[in-house]
Amino acid sequence: MPSESKPGVEYTVTLGDDGAWTCTCPHYTYRRVECKHVLKIKEGPSAFKAGYVVHPMVREGAVEDREYQRRMVERALEANTLVVLPTALGKTVIAELVAAELLHRYPGCRVLMMAPTKPLALQHRESILRHLKLERDEVVTVTGETGKRTMVWDDPKVRVITATPQTVWNDYKRGLVRLEEFALLVFDECHRSRSRYA
């Protein structure tokens, strides 16, 4: 089965004599939990012919259309939502699709996606740029190392900001950012938000 994130890489999914599925992908190899490749095989041949999300804000052919993600996006557009899924099943994609719909419905709105580490915040920015029809200057990452953060928070061209919660908290306390300006707040890795976590 081809890797979705690494072109040219193939993984092997097998069904053992004991009825247990295995996969050669890193997710299964290190965690020993059912991965997306096993799930695709279990879903049958239709999974391989999956279509792609068609949306005015989503790049053509960038996001596979998965029913469970669609249902979660619909729910998240109705109310505050906590998405709990195993690794590699598309929690970030769900957040991006919710963002896409809100950015389309309300052209002047903004989205704030928070991740606990700078590398993860940067990774989210790249993922958003890969999946959504946004230009590089419309998606910005803000961390403690970002100079002139006031300009980022105040820039009307910036539609999506990825940031660390600590940076957002510090800038909020300093009056640099008003959370009510955002149509969507995403807390990635929210299970880490305990005690004095920003």
Domains of the chain: 13-49 (no CATH), 67-192 (3.40.50.300)
For the chain, the distance separating the N- and C-terminal CA atoms, rounded to the nearest angstrom, is 40
SS3 assignment, position 4: coil
Bridge partners of 28, per DSSP, are none
Query: Quick one: pLDDT at residue 144?
Result: 80
CA distance 96 to 81: 14
Confidence of residue 139 (pLDDT cuts 50, 70, 90): very high
Which tens digit of pLDDT belongs to each residue from 145-198? 877 888 889 999 999 999 999 999 999 999 999 999 999 999 998 766 665 555
Q: What mean pLDDT is reported for the chain?
A: 86
Which tens digit of pLDDT belongs to each residue from 30-65? 777 778 877 777 765 444 445 899 999 999 989 999
**Residue 152: φ, ψ to 5°:** -70, -50
Burial 88-100, CB ≥16 within 10 A → b, else e: bbbbbbbbbbbbb
Q: Which residue has the tokens 């929210």?
A: 190
Dig out the tokens for 60 from the structure.
């053509």
Query: Quick one: pLDDT at residue 85?
Result: 86
Bridge partners of 163, per DSSP, are 114, 142
Enumerate the H helices of the chain as residue ranges.
26-31, 36-43, 67-78, 91-105, 118-131, 149-154, 165-173
Contact between residue 186 and residue 113 where contact means Cβ atoms under 8 Å apart: yes
